[in-house]
């Protein structure tokens, strides 16, 4: 690994000042499970790494009545083993447990999971000066694109690798960031950005900003959620496609639905047409097949990833079916994949 300086600020303001000193040459390091690979592989050459692991401000986990706050520095293991979190938001536990391996989860943080970089093979090989490294080409568009985007692709066809992101969006999470202008919050959905302005990141943070926490509203009664993830290998593997779905019923009618797709688009993808097809319908008159079809009706597969269209539709159908079963009082275990 090419040497760098490692600095451990003792507050988030300290971290912000360090970031502003040399924005180009500085990277944040939380658990380090992603950034260190990037440095070792020569994808990034930071002069300085600013460590977040000493910051108590990022480490709190408050499951409250009105809302829940998850510090960005919590590890995925902490999220996946917290019983109160599991009671309130089982979808988050499911998603956290599906990430990587026990060893990764013991150090990888929530903030790091949301800010991790693409896993596209072309991006991860330093020989390709691809769009996501500041180049002008997405090699995946015409190359080996079996794992790449079927929805919302271009100019890069990367897929967002995070499992936590779709699950959090499905429970209406908000993200809190801190920067030179203090705190701001936004719906987590708006945090992800595939805009052309900042190809070197997949989110909207500005210079000197960092993620401090995630806020979760308490779910309305009669809400159920589930996270399903399809992968090629039963352990340490990213999603080929995943679905985070949640449904809220009111008087036998679907009052609200979130259907968020992971692993199929450059950012977590809201399947609006599928949501529209079920919201407002009586729960016993839902056409799940149709909703599943609509979830991918805007898909534009590349040469080698057509399979993801049916895979994603099947997962959506299965997820919705599982939610209905749960809402009808059936057991709520996630279906086996």
Binding stretches for ligand FAD (CB under 6 A): 27-35, 52, 72, 99-101, 104, 107-109, 111-113, 115-116, 161-163, 210-211, 236, 238
Residue closer to other proteins, measured from CB, 13 or 321: 321
Residue nearest to ligand FAD as judged by C-beta position: 112
Q: Are the C-beta atoms of residues 61 and 71 closer than 8 Å to each other?
A: yes
36 φ, ψ (degrees, to nearest 5) = -70, -35
Q: Does residue 21 belong to the site contacting other proteins (CB under 8 A)?
A: no
Q: Which two tokens stand for residue 85?
A: 């979190």
Residue closer to ligand FAD, measured from CB, 240 or 299: 240
Q: Are strands 210-217 and 223-230 parallel, antiparallel or unpaired?
A: unpaired
Q: Does residue 53 belong to the site contacting other proteins (CB under 8 A)?
A: yes
Q: Does residue 107 belong to the site contacting other proteins (CB under 8 A)?
A: yes
6 touches, from ligand FAD, other proteins, none (C-beta below 5 to 8 Å by class): other proteins
What is the edge-to-edge ordering of all strands in the sheet holding 241-250?
223-230, 241-250, 253-262, 269-270
55 touches, from ligand FAD, other proteins, none (C-beta below 5 to 8 Å by class): none
Question: Of all helices (H) and strands (E), which one includes residue 325?
Answer: helix 307-327
116 touches, from other proteins, ligand FAD, none (C-beta below 5 to 8 Å by class): ligand FAD
Q: Does residue 59 belong to the site contacting other proteins (CB under 8 A)?
A: no
Residue 200: how many CB atoms within 10 A of its CB?
Answer: 10
Which of 108, 206, 109, 192 lies closest to 158, judged by CA? 192
Dihedral sign, Cα of residue 87, residue 90, residue 92, residue 98: positive
Start-to-end C-alpha separation, the chain: 39
Q: Which of 9, 14, 32, 155 binds other proteins (CB under 8 A)?
A: 32
Q: Which of 2, 56, 186, 200 binds other proteins (CB under 8 A)?
A: 2
176 touches, from other proteins, ligand FAD, none (C-beta below 5 to 8 Å by class): none
Q: How far is the CB of 241 from other proteins (least distance, A)?
A: 9
Q: Which of 11, 60, 67, 103 binds other proteins (CB under 8 A)?
A: 103
Question: In the beta sheet, which residues pair with residue 70?
Answer: 61, 214
Q: Are the C-beta atoms of residues 16 and 106 closer than 8 Å to each other?
A: no
- Which SS3 state, helix, strand or coil, does residue 185 take? strand
30 touches, from other proteins, ligand FAD, none (C-beta below 5 to 8 Å by class): ligand FAD
136 by Cβ neighbours in 10 Å (0-12 / 13-18 / 19+) ranks as exposed
**Helices first, then strands: H and E counts in the chain:** 14, 12
Interacting residues toward other proteins by CB under 8 A: 1-6, 8, 25, 29, 31-33, 36-37, 39-41, 45, 47, 49, 51, 53, 77, 100-104, 106-107, 119, 121-122, 124-125, 127-128, 139, 142-144, 146, 230, 232-238, 240, 304-308, 310-311, 314-315, 317-318, 321, 335, 337
């Amino acid at each position: 690994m090419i040497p760098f300086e490692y600095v451990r600020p003792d507050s988030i303001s300290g971290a912000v000042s360090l970031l502003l000193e040399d924005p180009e040459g500085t990277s944040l390091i939380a658990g380090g499970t992603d950034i260190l690979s990037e440095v070792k592989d020569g994808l990034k050459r930071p002069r300085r790494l600013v460590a977040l692991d000493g910051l108590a401000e990022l480490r709190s986990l408050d499951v409250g009545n009105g809302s829940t706050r998850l510090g960005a520095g919590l590890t995925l293991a902490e999220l996946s083993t917290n019983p109160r979190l599991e009671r309130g938001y089982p979808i988050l536990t499911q998603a956290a447990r599906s990430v990587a391996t026990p060893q990764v989860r013991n150090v990888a943080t929530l903030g790091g999971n949301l800010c991790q970089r693409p896993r596209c093979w072309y991006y991860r090989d330093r020989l390709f000066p691809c769009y996501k490294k500041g180049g002008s080409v997405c090699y995946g568009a015409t190359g080996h694109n079996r794992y790449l985007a079927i929805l919302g692709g271009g100019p890069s066809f990367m897929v967002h690798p995070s499992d936590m992101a779709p699950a959090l969006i499905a429970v209406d999470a908000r993200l809190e960031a801190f920067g030179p202008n203090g705190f701001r919050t936004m719906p987590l959905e708006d945090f992800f950005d595939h805009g052309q302005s900042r190809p070197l990141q997949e989110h909207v943070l500005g210079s000197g900003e960092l993620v401090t926490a995630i806020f979760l509203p308490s779910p309305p009664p009669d809400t159920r959620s589930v996270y399903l993830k399809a992968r090629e290998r039963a352990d340490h593997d990213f999603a080929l496609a995943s679905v985070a779905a949640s449904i809220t019923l009111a008087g036998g009618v679907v009052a609200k639905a979130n259907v968020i797709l992971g692993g199929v688009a450059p950012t977590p993808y809201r399947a609006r047409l599928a949501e529209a097809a079920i919201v407002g319908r009586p729960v016993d008159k839902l056409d799940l097949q149709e909703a599943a079809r609509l979830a991918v009706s805007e898909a534009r597969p590349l040469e080698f990833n057509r399979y993801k269209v049916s895979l994603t539709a099947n997962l959506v159908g299965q997820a919705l079916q599982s939610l209905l079963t749960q809402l009808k009082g059936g057991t709520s275990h996630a279906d086996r994949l």
